[in-house]
A and B are shown apart, each in its own frame.
Chain A
Amino acid sequence: MDWFPLLNSLRIALISTGIVFFLGLLGAYYIAKAPRLVKGLLDVLFTLPLVLPPTVVGYLLLRVLGPKRALGGWFLSAFGLRLTMTWYSAIFATVVVIFPLMYRTARGAFESFDETLAQAGQTLGLSNTYIFWRIRLPVCRQGILAGTVLAFARALGEYGATSMVAGYTPGRTATISTTVYQLWRTGNDGLALRWVLVNLAISALVLVAVNLLERKREVA
Chain B
Amino acid sequence: MALFVDIEKALGDFRLKVKFEVGEETLALLGPSGSGKSLTLRCVAGICRPDRGKILLDGETLFDSEQGIDLPPQRRRVGYLFQDYALFPHMTVAENIRCGLREKGDEPLMGELMAAMGLTALAHKRPGQLSGGERQRTALARILVGRPRLMLLDEPFSALDSHLRFQMERETRQVIHRLGKTALLVSHDRDEVFRLAQQVAVVREGQILQLGTRHQVFEGPETVTAARLTGCRNLSRAIPLEEGMAYAADWGMTLKLPPGKECPDWVGLRQGGAVLGPGENQVKCRVWEVVEDPFSVTVMLKTAGGAEPFGITLDKKVWKQAEGETLTVSLPAGALLLLKE
A interface residues (Cβ-Cβ under 8 A, vs B): 114, 116-117, 119-127, 135, 138-139, 141
Contact = CB atoms under 8 A, between A and B. Distances in A.
Interface stretch (B71-79, B248-256, B275-283): B71-79
B88 A135 contact: yes
Contacts of B99: 121, 124, 126
B45 interface: yes
Interface of B is mostly: loop
A114 B82 CA distance: 12
Contacts of A124: 99-100, 142-143, 146
A165 to B, nearest CB: 40
Nearest to B102: A125
B83 to A, nearest CB: 8
A115 to B, nearest CB: 9
Contacts, number: 54
Contacts of A126: 74, 99
A116 B139 CA distance: 13
A155 B42 CA distance: 44
B4 to A, nearest CB: 19
A120 B82 contact: yes
Contacts of A127: 74
B146 A125 contact: yes
Of all A-B residue pairs in the complex, the 9 with the closest CB atoms, nearest first, are A120-B86, A122-B73, A123-B80, A116-B86, A138-B90, A119-B47, A124-B100, A125-B74, A123-B73
Nearest to B143: A124
Contacts of B102: 125
Chain B, interface residues (CB within 8 Å), range = 20 to 34
Interface of A is mostly: helix
B80 A120 contact: yes
A21 B46 CA distance: 31
Given A123-B76, A135-B88, 19 more contacts: A114-B86, A119-B45, A119-B73, A119-B80, A119-B82, A122-B46, A122-B47, A122-B73, A123-B73, A124-B100, A124-B142, A124-B143, A125-B74, A125-B77, A125-B146, A126-B74, A126-B99, A139-B89, A141-B90
A126 B74 CA distance: 6
B90 A123 contact: no
B88 A123 contact: no
Nearest to B45: A123
Given A124-B143, A125-B102, A119 B86 contact: yes
A114 B89 CA distance: 11
Contacts of A122: 46-47, 72-74
Nearest to A120: B86
Contact of A139 (B74, B79, B82, B90): B90
Contacts of B80: 119-120, 123
Contacts of B134: none
Interface string B64-104: 00000000111111111010101011100000000110100
Nearest to B72: A122
Contacts of B146: 124-125
B46 A117 contact: no
Interface in B138-152: 142-143, 146
Contacts of B45: 119, 123
B78 A123 contact: yes
